[in-house]
Amino acid sequence: MFGCGVKSEQVGFFHLSHSSIYRVNALIFNSKAVVERRGFRPKFSMTGIMSQLSPLQAEQIKEIGTYLRQKREESCLSIDDIAALTMIRLPMLEALETGNWQKLPELIYVKGFIKRYGDALKIDGKALADRLSPSAEQLAQEVTIPKTLPTKVTPLPKAEPAAPKVEPVKPEKPAPETGSQPAKSTFFGMYLWLGLLAGIFCGIGYLFLRPPLSNLPAVTPSPSPVGSPAPVVSPALVGSPSPSPPPKVPLSAEVTIEQAAWVRVIADGKKVHEGNLQPGTKRTWTAQKSLNIRSGNAGGVKISLNQKPAQLMGKAGQIGEITLTAPPFSHQ
């Protein structure tokens, strides 16, 4: 798979091999056992206490664990190497990589494990840890609802006696001006006479200027052809049926794997594929209504939607998701 050689880590000013790190780790755990035998017990246990976990959080832990395991294998590191670098117990790392959340501690500790695991692989561990959704207890602590409502009632102000209504005095209408009416009637009568005279002159001019009726050419009726059949209207021209709607084109996605990646495909609400695909694999999925493709390594998956040019789903190491839906058909 990869060329793996002897690896070593540099801590501070010291250059330690993996065997030295194993000895330091063993010394720490032996010291912890001595402290517990002398009566100093930890205040909490980080095994089997993740009780309140949503299905979304369980799915996210599984995806992140698969991605970390792939990165570890690409770096030629064993799970014991990660345990020595991160100071995380081996059962916790195995549960994290397999997504076995029943054996993991509370969500806040799981985020710390993911951050240290990612930092050990030289990737952004904090960004991976922040992808986990907050738990229901954290949301309940952020939004608190008071149990009892305030019972204090503000008294209503006393009604004051209404003041007696005073009707407003209507102003008297001004007397119409008598001087302007004769002027208005005079102008109206003058316009009326001018209109009548204009109509009379137009009628006289029309009588004198129109041509006499005797000079008009006589119109002879043209004989209609005998025995010519009437045109028959073909039924095809009367009403043509509306064109039938084109059939729906199914949704299609052609996936090409360039790097090893976990891929899940849901077509029309049904899961049709979920698992790891190796480089060089080409798969095609189709759907009628919706097509959802999710990958744990977006930079290693190239996808072509509906015969369009293929593109990468995202950057390497990121979780990518694409949803393709068919537009609704409207009949006119």
Query: How large is the average pLDDT for residues 271-297?
Result: 91
Most confident of 131-145, 165-179, 205-219: 205-219
Q: pLDDT tens-digit profile of 219-251?
A: 555 555 444 455 454 444 444 445 555 445 578
Q: Give residue-wise pLDDT tens across range 43-93.
A: 434 444 454 678 888 899 999 999 999 999 999 999 999 999 999 999 999
- Which value, to the nearest 10 degrees, does the dihedral of the CA atoms of residues 62, 294, 320, 263 take? 70
Look at 34 and 101; give whichever has higher pLDDT. Answer: 101
More confident position, 318 or 245: 318
59-68, 225-234, 254-263, 264-273: segment of lowest average pLDDT: 225-234
**Looking at the predicted structure, is the pLDDT value of residue 14 above 80?**
no
Query: First-to-last CA distance in the chain?
Result: 59
Q: How confident is the model at residue 184 (pLDDT cuts 50, 70, 90)?
A: low
How far CA 178 is from CA of 17, 104, 182, 186, 189, in Å, comes to 121, 104, 8, 14, 18
Structure tokens at 11: 């801590």
Q: Which residues pair with 255 in a beta bridge?
A: 283, 303
> What is the structure's pLDDT at 251?
87
Say which residue, 211 or 32, is predicted with more confidence.
211
- Contact (CB, 8 A) for 300 and 258: yes
CA distance 293 to 7: 37
Element (H, E) at 274: strand 270-277
| Position 313, amino acid | M
> Span 160-183, mean pLDDT?
54
Q: Which sign does the torsion angle of CA 115, 119, 120, 122 carry?
A: positive
Inform me whether the pLDDT recorded for 292 exceeds 60: yes
Confidence of residue 18 (pLDDT cuts 50, 70, 90): very low
% of residues, the chain, pLDDT over 90: 27
Query: Which of 33-37, 81-85, 144-148 has the highest mean predicted lDDT (pLDDT)?
Result: 81-85
Considering the chain, what is the average pLDDT of its residues?
Answer: 71
Q: What is the pLDDT of residue 299?
A: 85
Two tokens, residue 81:
């190497």
Residue 149 has pLDDT above 50, yes or no: no
CA dihedral (22, 24, 29, 34) positive or negative: positive
pLDDT of 171 over the 60 cut: no
Q: What is the mean pLDDT of residues 312-316?
A: 88
pTM: 0.32
CB 299 within 8 A of CB 251: no
- At 296, is the pLDDT very low, low, confident or very high (cuts 50, 70, 90)? confident
Which of the four pLDDT bands, split at 50, 70 and 90, describes residue 137?
A: very low
